[in-house]
Amino acid sequence: MAQLGMSFVSSIRVPDAVLVLFGGSAGTLAFRERNLRRKKIADMSDYIHRLETIIDANRTSSGLTQHGTTRPEDKI
Amino acid sequence: MSDIGPLLLTGLGLLSLWLVAYFGWRPYRIDKVRNELFDLRNDLFLYAAEGGVVFDDPAYRIQRDRLNALIRFAHIITVTRALIFMAAERYRPNERVQSIQQKYLVAVSNLSESAQVKMRYIYDRTATILAWQLVSGSPLLLIAAAIYLPLVAASKFLRRTPKESTGLIVARELRVELIEEQAMLAQTQQIDLEAFELAHP
């Protein structure tokens, strides 16, 4: 039975173009998802900042960019 | 000439793997650790907002500043840097690092019993997050952990020692507090620099 399974798997031939298309689509999707998440962070961070400052006037910030990424000057 | 096709395809595959690792996996790991630290900072903020600790208390301030510094400099949490910090600390201990830690411990000892427990939880959780970030970022450390962690678990079971989290044991071995303090120093220097630039435009 196991041999039959192995034989089936080894008989599968996926065209290279399909693999490239799949990889490219997955990468594009991941990239767009990440951009969407960063846009949402930018929207929410200002909101959270304002709300927290009402409670703690001396609130300190993490110092990241508005999108939640490393500041260019902090990149070592 | 007919062999060039598979060669090109292999090259393209390897290049794609590198692109995914460098532009996908690496930033993802940094974002993930930042998210976990933001959760802890939020936990600390809510605890203070509910009256568990005063916002102006030095223990709260130092803990928040520590988390902020780690969030900002999360990209420096790597095994290479951890080793450099360990070597530097061994040959040239930083007094400023020790003074920050001393101030924090004194401030925490002045808190109520429940606030001390909360602060210890946040401190320990931060150390565990950093330890996992270091271990998961290095294939060599992952292999070492796969061997070391079952041994630690067996030792804890056989000796019936007081329950100390395995993550904390790893954090202590990797001296993650040095990364915390270096991040705080870098944060302080950046804030001083920004203040100087504002005063001297």
Single-letter residue type at B112: S
Kindly determine whether residue A56 and residue B48, on different chains, have CB atoms separated by under 8 Å: yes
> For chain A, what is the domain count?
1
Hey, is the C-beta of A54 within 8 angstroms of any chain B C-beta? no
Rounded to an integer, what distance in angstroms lies between the CA atom of residue B4 and that of residue B10?
10
Full domain range(s) for residue A38:
14-56
Q: Which residues contact B180 (CB under 8 A, 6 or more apart)?
A: B66, B69, B70, B126, B127, B130
In a domain, A40, yes or no: yes
Per mean pLDDT, which range of B10-14, B108-112, B161-165, B167-171 is the poorest?
B161-165
Residue A69 lies in a domain: no
Instruction: Give the pLDDT confidence of B54-71 residue by residue, as tens digits.
Output: 999 999 999 999 999 999
Express each pLDDT in B179-201 by its tens digit.
888 888 888 888 888 888 888 77
Give per-residue burial for B15-30: e unless 16+ CB within 10 Å, then b. eeeeebeeeeeeeebb
Query: Residue B81 corresponds to which tokens in the numbers above?
Result: 């840097």
Q: Do A64 and B16 touch (CB under 8 A)?
A: no
Mutate to test the interface with B, among A60, A75, A76 (most CBs of B within 10 A): A60
Q: How far apart are the first and last CA of chain A?
A: 56
Instruction: Tell me the residues of chain A between 30 and 49 that have a Cβ less than 8 Å away from chain B.
Output: 30, 34
ipTM given for this complex: 0.78
**Does A74 sit within 8 Å of B75, measured CB to CB?**
yes
Q: Which stretches within chain B are classed as H helix?
A: 4-19, 26-49, 58-72, 79-91, 95-109, 113-136, 139-159, 166-173, 176-199
Give the pLDDT confidence of A17-47 residue by residue, as tens digits: 888 889 889 999 999 999 999 999 999 988 8
A20–B12 C-beta distance less than 8 A: yes
